[in-house]
Amino acid sequence: SQQGEEDPQALSIQEGENATMNCSYKTSINNLQWYRQNSGRGLVHLILIRSNEREKHSGRLRVTLDTSKKSSSLLITASRAADTASYFCYGQNFVFGPGTRLSVLP
Amino acid sequence: EAQVTQNPRYLITVTGKKLTVTCSQNMNHEYMSWYRQDPGLGLRQIYYSMNVEVTDKGDVPEGYKVSRKEKRNFPLILESPSPNQTSLYFCASSLTQGVIQYFGAGTRLSVL
């Protein structure tokens, strides 16, 4: 199966800063989803953006999608220590990649 | 409460001793899948099921079996576990393929 690719692999920021991570994929999609995984736990769905949408917001999360470039970005604003986790993208026709490990330092 | 329940959460076993990891969902979802997660490799899909009695191989099916006799249950069977199956396993379910997935808490398996 095609795999999504998150970038960067790891990201360290200070509390209060914004965190941006990217996802690239190679297939056509109907939607793209972002998930969060706290250390060793099950993934939790964060946000879904449909292929006809360019941007979507949910609380401190902002997701963009560019289907022409086959890429998406997840922005977490005003990050908190509790945002420390791994983040994954997923689509109907591609599977999870290695994820982005985000560390938010107090 | 909507949930996916996996059991056991932790399991230590020895090579060759058959084991089953159970997965149950209470959301009437059609689609269920099993993943394994290893450091640096993300989640790799082992098997998935589109509905009752319909299962198919994912990317890493070797050494695993599944069954889907009822909609809510999707057990993962390791008939002869080997050390390279030591991993963190997740079951997930969704209404259909490609929509929001709900994950279990995970099963950490060690095969000695």
- In the structure encoding, which two tokens stand for residue B87, read together? 């991993």
B88 touches chain A (CB under 8 A): yes
A48 touches chain B (CB under 8 A): yes
Q: Are A74 and A61 in contact (CB under 8 A)?
A: yes
pLDDT digits (tens, 9 = 90+) for A38-82: 988 999 999 999 999 999 999 999 999 999 999 999 999 999 999
Q: Are A61 and A76 in contact (CB under 8 A)?
A: yes
Partner residue opposite B42 with nearest CB, options A30, A40, A88:
A88
Q: For an interface test with B, which of A43, A46, A90, A100 has the most B Cβ atoms less than 10 Å from its Cβ?
A: A43
pLDDT at residue number A3 = 82
CA distance A34 to chain B (A): 10
- Please state, for a pLDDT cut of 70, what percent of chain A lies above it: 100
CB contact under 8 A, A41 and B98: no
Burial string for B66-104 (b: 16+ CB within 10 Å, else e) reads bebeebbbbbbebeebeeebbbbbbbbbbeeebebbbbb
Partner residue opposite A1 with nearest CB, options B45, B92, B101:
B45
CA distance B82 to chain A (A): 22
* pLDDT value at B44 more than 90: yes
pLDDT at residue number B48 = 96
Residues 15-74 (B) with a CB less than 8 A from some CB of A? 35, 40-45, 58-59
CB contact under 8 A, B88 and A40: yes
- DSSP for B23-60, please give it: EEESS--SEEEEEEEETTTEEEEEEEEEETTEEEE-S-
Going by C-beta distance under 8 Å and a sequence separation of 6 or more, which residues neighbour residue B85?
B36, B63, B64, B78, B109, B111
* pLDDT value at A1 more than 80: no
pLDDT digits (tens, 9 = 90+) for B14-38: 999 999 999 999 999 999 999 999 9
Q: Are A102 and A83 in contact (CB under 8 A)?
A: yes
What is the rounded CA–CA span in Å between residue A94 and residue A33?
11
3-class DSSP state for residue B30? coil
* Mean pLDDT along residues A75-94: 94
pLDDT at residue number B54 = 96
In terms of pLDDT, which residue wins out, A7 or B98?
A: A7
pLDDT at residue number A4 = 86
CB contact under 8 A, B42 and A33: no
**Which residues in chain B have Cβ-Cβ distances shorter than 8 Å to A41?**
105-106
What is the rounded CA–CA span in Å between residue A91 and residue B5?
24
Indicate the burial class of A81 (C-beta count within 10 angstroms; 0-12, 13-18, 19 or more).
exposed
Amino acid found at B90: F
What is the rounded CA–CA span in Å between residue A102 and residue A69?
24
* pLDDT value at B67 more than 90: yes
pLDDT at residue number B76 = 98
